[in-house]
Amino acid sequence: MTLHPHTRFTLPDELNAVEPPEARGLARDQVKLLVAKGTTVTHTRFDRIGEHLRPGDLLLVNTSETLAAAVDGSWITGSGVAPVVVHFSTALDDGDWVVELRHDGSPVFGGSAGDQVELPEGVLTLLEPYQPSGTRLWRARPPVGEMVGYLRRNGRPISYKYVGRRWPLALYQTVFADQPGSAEMPSAGRPFSFELVSRLAAAGILIAPILLHCGVSSLESHEPPLPERFEVSEHTARLVNWVKANGGRVIAAGTTAVRAIESAARPDVVASKGWTDLVLGPDHPATVVDGLITGMHAPEASHLLLLESVVGGDVVQNAYDAALEHSYLWHEFGDVSLLLRH
């Protein structure tokens, strides 16, 4: 099933954020912020986001920590040995991992079941394609049992072509990160600084943790997002229901937080833990969140469908038109939007 977002735009290359804001001379909370509500777009800076929130609003923040999920290796094929980068996307329940092999910044589609990739400390074995539809993602046996420490020793953060060079793992962490497990940074949390979080708390803005370990994103693809491991605690579930019953707004920091909380809606939110394959979109709108904080997503990304499912296609199109006109920067190191239903 291929779904196209309502929002259409062309992203010029110069609007890809090629480096973290810190490298552009900005603090993490000084990136641009676009606030879209109804037909109105306000331009501001992220450290002033509190001006657009109210006491009693609840921010849901993803506490997943980014792994150094990219590891260099040698893929042994029938015809020889090829250098590849293994992207470790998702830890499965039985200890296997979902992985993607990459070469020169592009996915490798030529893998076969039984292929081995030589890695530091051991060998990765491809077991079977993870999705029936293709050979981009594989279920694989990792080189060691305990992969979090392994990646800390041997990996580096996943980065895509538009990011010009390698940046240290610390630049891929949010101030909320405390549970390792994301292949890619849950980037909507990145612009929060410790100081900003304190100011929001002092202003009566509530903050509650939620967990969703991000798998690899497939940029520019029409594929629905992969199943991801998530957790909504009893405390967070109760708080969300309380806030909604008391006139506050539930605002998710990131598409990951939206996916997690919406996966726990019955329709009231209940404590939940496990895997979510929820795909939000026109036929499955968001019912819990009243808005979200999110980075700028590539055209045609399934994320756009999620955004539209929260605030509607027109608000998203307005926001993206304005972001392009005002030269906002895209992707994990770029600028941010706050999209509000009301």
Residues that bind another protein (CB under 8 A): 32, 35, 37-45, 48, 50-55, 203-204, 325-327, 342
CB 176 within 8 A of CB 189: yes
In 3D space, the residue among 235, 228, 223 whose CA is nearest the CA of residue 302 turns out to be 223
CB of 284 to another protein, least distance (A): 26
Helices of type H across the chain? 147-154, 194-202, 234-245, 255-262, 302-311, 313-325
Looking at residue 99, its amino acid is V
**Which residue is associated with the tokens 């910044």?**
105
CB of 340 to another protein, least distance (A): 9
CB of 326 to another protein, least distance (A): 6
Q: Which is nearer to another protein, 33 or 278 (CB)?
A: 33
CA distances, 59 to each of 49, 201, 236, 290 (Å): 12, 10, 11, 10
CB of 205 to another protein, least distance (A): 8
Rounded CA gap, 13 and 17, in Å? 9
Q: Which is nearer to another protein, 204 or 274 (CB)?
A: 204
Q: What is the CA angle 33-211-189, rounded to 5? A: 20
Rounded CA gap, 230 and 234, in Å? 13
Q: Which is nearer to another protein, 145 or 247 (CB)?
A: 247
CB of 197 to another protein, least distance (A): 16
Q: Which is nearer to another protein, 169 or 250 (CB)?
A: 250
Q: Which is nearer to another protein, 38 or 95 (CB)?
A: 38
Rounded CA gap, 22 and 332, in Å? 13
* Cα-only R_g, the chain: 20
- Count H helices and E strands in the chain, helices first: 6, 18
CB 305 within 8 A of CB 5: yes
CB of 19 to another protein, least distance (A): 19
Q: Which is nearer to another protein, 238 or 341 (CB)?
A: 341
In 3D space, the residue among 216, 212, 225 whose CA is nearest the CA of residue 179 turns out to be 212
CB 224 within 8 A of CB 279: yes
CB of 13 to another protein, least distance (A): 20
CB of 278 to another protein, least distance (A): 29
Q: Write the DSSP assignment of 94-107 as a string of letters.
A: TS-EEEEEEETTEE
User: Token pair for residue 185?
Assistant: 């940074």
Q: Which is nearer to another protein, 44 or 77 (CB)?
A: 44
Q: Which is nearer to another protein, 52 or 156 (CB)?
A: 52
User: Token pair for residue 311?
Assistant: 């605030």
